[in-house]
Amino acid sequence: MKRFLSLILSLALILSLCAAAQADDLPTITIMFHGSNVSDDAAVLEKVNEYIADKVGAKLEVIWGTWGDFDEKATNALATGDSEVDMLFTCSWSADEFNTYAKNGFFEPLDEYMDQFGADLKAALPEALIQAATVEGPDGEKHIYAVNGFKDTATQNTWDINVTLLGELGYTVEDVQKLGFYGWGEIFAKAKEVKGDSFYPFLIEPAVAERMVTNSIIITGDSGSVNLLSYYLDPADVTKADAKYGDVILNKFATDEFAAFTKQMREYYLAGYIDPALAVAETSNDTRSNAQKTGSYLIGTQSYAYGYEYSAEVLSRGIEVQFLPCTDPYVDTTVSQGAMVAVSSASQHPEESFKFLALLNSDPALMTLLNYGVEGVHYTLDDDGLVVFTDARASYSPWTNGMGNVTLLPDTQAEGKGFREAFKAYYASGKAVPILGYIFNNEPVSNEMAALTNVAAQYSLALCSGAVDPETELPKFLKALDDAGMAAYLAEANAQLDAYLAEANAQLDAFLGR
Amino acid sequence: MTARRETASAKSPESGIALKKSGIASKKSGRAGRKTTFWLDTMVLPGAIWLLLIRYLPMFGIVLAFKNYKAQRPNTFWNNILKSQWAGLDNFQFLKSPDTAVMVRNTLGYNLLWIVLGLVISVTFAIMMSELSSRFFAKAYQTLMFFPYFLSWVVASYFVLAFLDPTSGMIPAMQKAAGGTVSNFYHETTWWPLILTLCNLWKNVGYSSVLYLAAITGIDTSLYEAAAVDGATKWQQVLHVTLPNIRTMIVILLIMNVGKIFNADFGLFYNVPQNSGSLYPVTQVVDTYVYRAYANTHNIGMSSAAGFLQSAVGLVCIVAANAAVRKLDPDSSLF
Amino acid sequence: MSTLAGKKKIRPSTASLNRFGPGAQAGFHLALGLFALLCIIPFVFVVIISFTSEDSIRQIGYSFQPLGWSLQAYRYTFQLGDQLWRSYLNSFLITAVGTALSVLMCFLYAYPLFRKDYGHRSFFNFLSFFTMIFGGGLVPTFVICKSVLGLSDNYAALIVPMLFSPFHVIVMRTFFQTSVPMELIEASRIDGSGEYGTLFRIVFPIVTPGIATIALLVALGYWNEWFLSLLYINKNMDIIPLQYLLMRMQRNADFLAKNSAMLGADAARAAAQLPSQTLKMALVVFIVVPIACAYPFFQRYVVAGLTVGSVKG
């Protein structure tokens, strides 16, 4: 009888607890992240909800999008006006194209919330990041449409050099730099001689190599899968346009620089310096990452991030690696919109959502909790106060850079003490390119873009990797681009650029009181 | 089983007449007819409800093909559709591309070829399997033929790659060993129509021959018996008994394939050639084109328009094919 | 005719003689055997890759003769532990329930469409057929399923959207047409049987091969399905099937590879955590084996029909 009574009592207790939980009636806000590898978030979310209950006045739920799923899930949620997704990751390089969705009204403008609840957030983020998230909305006016993540905010393309092998061949990194892309033939020939016929010394991502050699940058808003447009930088001073062309957007494939690049690649390809698998879209990436992992290359391409040379991926290659930069780190529109979180305009709780984002991006405790997990469960602190992850981290690893302000996080043991400070200093040194903030609105020429993308996908990779002969293929390619409406596409991009520069200059003049 | 044997004799070429007679007979009494209709109505009901909810309700979405879809205030799907501006035929502009001719040619060409080849080979295989004297082998072949159906195109593409890879593939390796010129398969269009055709047959023949085999199984055996008594050889039996009896199945599958003539199997054309640009002249089809365009524009209107166009072409083809069949063989027509 | 009969003595009572001769049989075996071999080799290839050492893949790619063997992929697979078995169980559950319901619905829908005395025949025929050609598209269907029908984060979301296939209805109807004589139904009615009685007691046994075939196709569809999980499962990852587990790995790898220039060091970092190719192949093996084992079960009905025929013929 006693046991029965206690059962009843405990049941009643549970029920009343449930009732209590329902009674405090906080709204639930849901955030969708990118690139997560999370299978158990119960412990973390419990703590998070405890922490934010008063500060935000809402309960958090998370949809842990993975790399492969996120685009589909996010574009679906946006297109369907799904009110169950309040906040989502967005950026300018993926399918959930930030500028397009902002322009088409899918994101909530955050200006008012920023004024009301954003003091801490403003203090925590560099002004430039807030500027980068301020773009044109459906009303034609500029608004803040996302909370921009403070992460690696500059871009630096580097040649990834296998110094171990280079030494064996009797060369130094200085030699590589001195000879330059057009003069590496002799080093490659020697590598081939030493390492055998099945060794491919030049391990590149062809489209990236093209940008590195020609010093061109991506135009935000251009076709994402195959870039069609280029803007040439002065390699000596990335804040200036290349003197030869000036402030103008070019058909990437029609310049002398592109022709020279493809000619040289063809030479390298025919000499057997480039793995033919790199020239085919779907085999290219697997091949490259496999060769990279085993260190079987001489020179490769790498978009560099601070501290990368000390990371586990590089150290595990079993060779000495050095990254030879092509230019100083620079900030362009794409990298300045690299990882953000926006509030959906379908959200029923935009205010709570913003409050949450502001807190997440300014409060180290919350950021650490949501990113690294619970102390004592997912990580511990060593004697120096550095983070050491436990095995539980395997079931809770969100994508750090996709979450927000990573400078709030404590250093990990792997990174070493002082990492964040050095990280911030490095990225603070990033220089703005002349067209930072320019966003190409491709809507007026979206049909041309659709056709051009298909044409470029047909030729670009094969040409950039040297798999086909530019003598015959490049003229065909240019002709096909013309037929698909390149002239109209280019004219629209340049007209918008001119308008953008005129406005920027007018603002500058006003600022200087001229 | 008794029932089956009794009726078996009645079911012969003249069964068509018998069917019609019984059809009339069943309508003899209005009340019984109404009762029959009621009970049969209850049978279709679950399916009909499903169709209405999952297939018909979303059809308002077709309107997206003619709208410039944008978020409105308040941002709900219904409101966005309702208030977004009409776009006329703007979403169909993607057809103006110079690639259009290539993708239409490829889509229709491969489909036509494969419908014919697939039909001939599947029916042949099904007949062969039904005529094998060894039950064990009939079973074994049938099981094995289904394996391709389990493997996705991504996995199949690895297999093709193992043969064609320029550095480690088996065919280039053999060419190298023989001292000949090594083919760079992923940049040479020559072999791809053949490779794609083989892949398509490999994947689909097992599936459709099982359908035909099941149809052959359903043929009344007394028909063969009668033919044999009449002195028909096995070949003649196939020609005069098997084929006429699976005619309906053949025609139905044919009509349905014709309805999909403007659609292509995306994975086959995208993954198997490893999305190699140099091969687009022989691998670009409507689905891959729209995918590549959509991946950059995220224009929901354009993808809706493409889908609408594929459906419209399919409808026209299917109605035409059905009308033709109805003239030749009214019993086999789809509707 | 008489000359033919003279050449080849036919005794209708003994089935074994009404067959193709040994020459033709050999030809059949050759053609079918070759094709069957072609069908199984890629799967053998997958099995080989799953046992290939990672080093070998890095050096010579996928090959029938790898440089080295390894059980690592399977060890990893078992390390997935709970997740693997749970999604395995989900796959079975979804396939079993989905197939049973789907076949029943198809059977019930197709039967009246075959009955020429059914008044609403052409209407329901069209209702089903039309949806094969026209659809609302992915996004509107998603909205209806999710917000109107509540198909989100539950098993129903993985079953209901595939419950019914107009294609299968047409195939099923064709089976009825080719193997069920109307007289039988008429006779059964005269015996006083109700419509459902006739359907399940008289018609059902005759069309077993057809039902088995449809069941096979439906089961395969459910077993191979992963896109519904991507669309409808956001938070409740406990209910995802095995196929989705595999596809997610595949898609993760694809995404990272394609965006490596944008993600920079992050891509390399994340790629380092990705499962290897051999693991993916091991999962393919895990996916294919059960359904391949289930195949003979369906086949029994199809081939049983065959042998009944041959004994009698």
Contact B22 C169 (CB under 8 A): no
Length of chain B counted residue by residue: 335
Which residues in chain B have their CB less than 8 angstroms from residue C199's CB? 43
Identify the band that residue A331 occupies on the pLDDT scale cut at 50, 70 and 90. Answer: very high
C239 interface with A at CB cutoff 8 Å: no
End-to-end Cα distance, chain C: 20
In this prediction, residue A10 has a pLDDT band, given cuts at 50, 70 and 90, of low
User: In whole numbers, what is the pLDDT of chain B averaged over residues?
Assistant: 85
Rounded-to-integer distance, Cα C176 and Cα C206, Å: 9
The reply to whether omega before B74 is within 30° of 0 (cis) is yes
Distance from CA of B332 to the nearest CA of A (A): 41
Q: Which of residues 169-228 of C touch A (CB under 8 A)?
A: none
Rg value, chain A, Cα: 26
- Please report which helix (H) or strand (E) contains residue A63, including its range: strand A59-64
Q: How confident is the model at residue C29 (pLDDT cuts 50, 70, 90)?
A: very high
- Kindly list the residues from chain A whose CB atom is less than 8 angstroms away from the CB atom of residue C251: 66-69
| B5, pLDDT greater than 70 | no
| Structural domain boundaries enclosing A94 | 21-148+335-409
Does B16 score more than 80 pLDDT?
A: no
Arithmetic mean of pLDDT over chain C: 83
A268 interface with B at CB cutoff 8 Å: no
Mean pLDDT of B253-276: 91
Tens of pLDDT, residues A360-370: 999 999 999 99
Mean pLDDT of B191-212: 93
Hey, are the CB atoms on A346 and B75 less than 8 Å from each other?
yes
How many CB atoms are located within 10 Å of the residue B172 CB? 21
Tell whether A134 is covered by a domain. yes
Strands (E), B29-169: 67-68, 85-86
Query: Would you state the pLDDT for residue A239?
Result: 93
Comparing CA positions, the residue from B206, B194, B219 lying closest to residue B125 is B206
Q: Which has the minimum average pLDDT: A442-446, B30-34, B245-249?
A: B30-34
Contact A81 B80 (CB under 8 A): yes
- Please tell me which residue of chain C has the smallest CA distance to B144: C36
C253–A contact, CB cutoff 8 A: yes
Neighbours of C68 (CB within 10 A): 12
Are A68 and C253 an interchain contact pair (Cβ–Cβ within 8 Å)?
yes
Is a pLDDT exceeding 80 seen at residue A240? yes
For residue C18, give Cα distances in angstroms to A354, B73, B235, C1, C10. 80, 75, 11, 16, 7
Q: Which chains touch A (3 or more CB pairs under 8 A)?
A: B, C
Show residues of chain B in contact with A440, CB under 8 Å: none
Mutate to test the interface with B, among C117, C143, C185, C198 (most CBs of B within 10 A): C117
Alpha-carbon span A88 to A96, nearest angstrom: 9
Q: What does the pLDDT read at residue C15?
A: 45
pLDDT at residue number C99: 96
Q: Where are the beta strands (DSSP E) in A226-292?
A: 229-234, 237-241, 250-251
Q: What is the pLDDT of residue A4?
A: 52
Q: Which of residues 276-335 of B touch C (CB under 8 A)?
A: 300, 303-304, 307, 311, 314-315, 318, 331, 334-335
Pick the residue of C13, C95, C184, C300 with the most B CBs within 10 A to test the interface with B by mutation.
Answer: C184
Q: What is the DSSP letter of B242?
A: I
| CATH value at residue A395 | 3.40.190.10
Distance CA A280, CA B192 (A): 15
Give the chain C residue whose CA is nearest to the CA of B3: C184
**A-contacting residues of B 177-216, CB under 8 Å?**
184, 186-187
The pLDDT value recorded for residue A217 is 94
b/e sequence C153-173, b meaning 16+ C-beta within 10 Å: bebbbbbbbbbbbbbbbbbbb
Residue of A447, A460, A474 to mutate, interface with B, max B Cβ within 10 Å: A447
A366 in Cβ contact with A190 (< 8 Å): no
Interchain CB distance below 8 Å, B298 and A75? yes
The alpha-helical segments, DSSP class H, found in A297-363 are 312-315, 333-336, 350-360
Closest chain C C-alpha to A117 CA, distance in angstroms: 29
* A458 close to B (CB below 8 A): yes
Query: How many domains, chain A?
Result: 1
Those of residues 23-82 in C touching chain A at CB distance below 8 A are 57-58
Model confidence pLDDT, tens digit, residues C232-255: 999 888 999 998 988 888 888 878
Count CB neighbours of A225 within 10 A: 16
Residue B221 has pLDDT above 70, yes or no: yes
Which one, of C295, C138, C150, C109, lies nearest residue C220 by Cα? C295
Residue C274: CB atoms within 10 A of its CB come to 18
Condensed to tens digits (0 to 9), the pLDDT of residues B289-324 reads 988 888 777 788 888 999 899 999 999 999 899 899
* Whole-number pLDDT of residue B20: 42
Q: Is the pLDDT of residue C138 over 80?
A: yes
Let me know if residue A162 belongs to a domain: no
Is residue B1 pLDDT above 50, yes or no?
no
Is A153 part of any domain? no
Closest residue to A484, CB basis, from B98, B187, B284:
B98
Chain A contact for B175 (CB, 8 A cutoff)? no
For residue B19, pLDDT beyond 60? no
pLDDT-derived band at A12 (thresholds 50, 70, 90) equals low
Mean pLDDT of chain A: 90
**Where does the pLDDT of residue C10 fall: very low under 50, low under 70, confident under 90, or very high at 90 and above?**
very low
pLDDT at site C56: 82
Q: How far is A413 from A443, CA to CA, in rounded Å?
A: 47
In this model, does residue C14 exceed pLDDT 50? no
Amino acid at A381: L
Q: Which residues in chain A touch residue B71, judged by CB atoms under 8 angstroms apart?
A: 78, 81, 104-106, 138, 345-346
Residue A60 included in any domain: yes
Pick the residue of A33, A38, A61, A69 with the most C CBs within 10 A to test the interface with C by mutation: A69
CA distances to A120, A199, A380, A421, C201 from A409, in Å: 16, 42, 14, 11, 70
Q: Lowest-confidence range among A378-382, B24-28, B67-71?
A: B24-28
Q: Does A397 touch chain C (CB under 8 A)?
A: yes
- CB-closest option in B11, B22, B141 to C36: B141
Helices in A89-149 by DSSP H: which ranges?
98-103, 111-117, 119-124, 127-132
Per-residue pLDDT at C34 exceeds 90: yes
Report strand pairing: A147-148 vs A299-304. unpaired
What is the distance in angstroms between the Cα of A484 and the nearest Cα belonging to chain B? 6
More confident residue, B193 or C83: B193
Cα–Cα distance for residue pair A29/A57, rounded to 1 Å = 10
Chain B interface mutation, best of C134, C208, C213, highest count of B Cβ atoms under 10 Å: C134
Residue A504 within a domain: no
- Which residues on chain C are in Cβ contact (under 8 Å) with A304? 264-265
* C207 interfacial to chain B (CB closer than 8 Å): yes
Interface of A with B in 60-79 (CB under 8 A): 75, 78-79
Residue C287: list chain B partners with CB under 8 A: 150
Q: Residue A431: CA atoms inside 13 Å, Cβ hemisphere, count?
A: 14
Question: Is there a contact between A345 and B75 if contact means CB atoms under 8 Å apart?
Answer: yes
The mean-pLDDT minimum among A196-205, A363-372, B7-16 falls in B7-16
Which token pair is C62?
Answer: 């996928």
Strand partners, A136: A142
Q: Render pLDDT for A82-138 as a digit per residue (tens, 0 to 9).
A: 999 999 999 988 776 899 999 999 999 999 999 999 999 999 999 999 999 999 999
Specify the amino acid at residue B316: V
Average pLDDT over residues A266-270: 96
Residue A370 tokens read as 């949501």
Look at residue B150 in the predicted model and tell me its pLDDT.
Answer: 78
pLDDT tens for each residue of B139-190: 889 888 888 887 888 888 888 988 898 877 888 888 888 888 888 899 999 9
Out of A126-135, B280-289, C163-172, C296-305, pick the least confident. C296-305
Is C33:C39 a contact under the CB 8 Å cutoff? no
Nearest C-alpha of chain A: how many angstroms from B148?
21
- Give the mean pLDDT of C7-13: 37
Give the three-state DSSP class for C67: coil
What's the ipTM? 0.86
What pLDDT band is residue C275 in, cutting at 50, 70 and 90?
A: low
Cβ–Cβ contact A227 with B under 8 A? no
| The CATH fold of domain B89-332 | MetI-like fold (1.10.3720)
Give SS3 for A142. Answer: strand
pLDDT of res. A24: 62
* Residue C60, pLDDT above cutoff 70: yes
Answer whether C236 touches A (CB < 8 Å): no
- Enumerate the residues of chain C whose CB falls inside 8 A of the CB of residue B142: 299, 302-303
Cross-chain Cβ contact B71/A455 below 8 Å: no
Q: Which amino acid is at A75?
A: T
A279·B186 Cβ contact <8 A: yes
Cα distances from A196 to residues A391, B179, C55, in angstroms, run 42, 19, 18
d(CA A296, CA A195): 10
Has residue A113 been placed in a domain? yes
CA dist., res. B35 & res. B23, Å (int): 15
Widest distance between CA atoms in chain C: 84
